[in-house]
Structure 1
Amino acid sequence: MATKSTLTQHWNATSITFLVLSILGLLGTLAFNVSAVASGRDFFGDWFGSGPAVGSLGVDLLIVALAGSVLIIVEARRLGMKRAWLYIVLSAVTAFAFTFPLFLAMRERRLVALSMG
């Protein structure tokens, strides 16, 4: 009976979906962040100072990122995942749209591994 290689082991449709979303989050936010820096924009000033709708979006995303960060820590501890704090640190220098789906992909892989014994 053939065995899966270590590289592809524990990847299922759900973990692959989260990984694809993570990559899209990284590329999508990277494009806008590079554009903002290249044009010399005040990143946080634009985010929170460009009107109530943009401010509302900023607060919305901040609260979701905080709740997601709590989930990352709690779930990682529950499942015995190491270095979960790196997802939160990486979100500060990349984007939560990248790190949260990446965590969900790795979480799904861990759940598959635990179910296999």
Structure 2
Amino acid sequence: MSVAAPGRLALAVVWFALSAAGLVGTWAFNIAFFADPGGLSYLGGWFANAASSSAAVDVIVVALAACVFMVAEGARLGWIRWVWVLVPLSFAIAIAFTFPLFLGLRELALRRRAGTRDTRPAGATPARRSSAA
């Protein structure tokens, strides 16, 4: 296993904690909104004034960029079959949930990949078998 593997595991834990915080934090407010919408539609609330519109555009652009990254990186890692699930979930649940979840899963995959690599120092040659019969 590589030296970086413990750091990758710690980073994965951070990503998963942020994913959980994103899920709980966004849905606590979503549930509160749906319980009392205050006369606004959900998207109407996003664009109710200049400040909320700025924040909404900010989140939408970052969400789209994160989705592009997840699909591209998912293809690179060989996850193309299931990574597409995260794209609609990003908009149905929250990008604050799916993007850190993806990053945590990515760290675990990179950790596994690092553990399967040859850990000999660069330039080292493999041990030779004795040719004695």
- What TM bracket, shorter-length normalisation? 0.7 to 0.9
Larger radius of gyration: 2
Q: Supply the distance in 2 between the matched residues of 1:67 and 1:90 (Cα, whole angstroms).
A: 15
Do structure 1's residue 47 and structure 2's residue 59 form an aligned pair?
A: no
Aligned to 1:23: 20
Q: Supply the distance in 1 between the matched residues of 2:25 and 2:59 (Cα, whole angstroms).
A: 15
Note the aligned Cα RMSD (angstroms): 1.2
Name stretches of at least 5 consecutive residues in structure 1 with no aligned partner.
1-10
Report deviation, 1:80. Answer: 1.2
Q: Supply the distance in 2 between the matched residues of 1:103 and 1:85 (Cα, whole angstroms).
A: 11
Report deviation, 1:90. Answer: 1.3
Report deviation, 1:89. Answer: 1.6
Aligned counterparts, 1:2-13, within 5 A: 12-13=9-10
Report deviation, 1:93. Answer: 1.7
Aligned to 1:6: none
Aligned to 2:66: 68
Aligned to 2:5: none
Q: Supply the distance in 2 between the matched residues of 1:51 and 1:90 (Cα, whole angstroms).
A: 26
TM (norm. structure 2) is 0.76
Aligned to 1:114: 113
Report deviation, 1:28. Answer: 0.2
TM (norm. structure 1) is 0.86
Name stretches of at least 5 consecutive residues in structure 2 with no aligned partner.
1-7, 117-133
Identity of aligned residues (%): 40
What is the count of residue pairs matched by the alignment?
Answer: 106
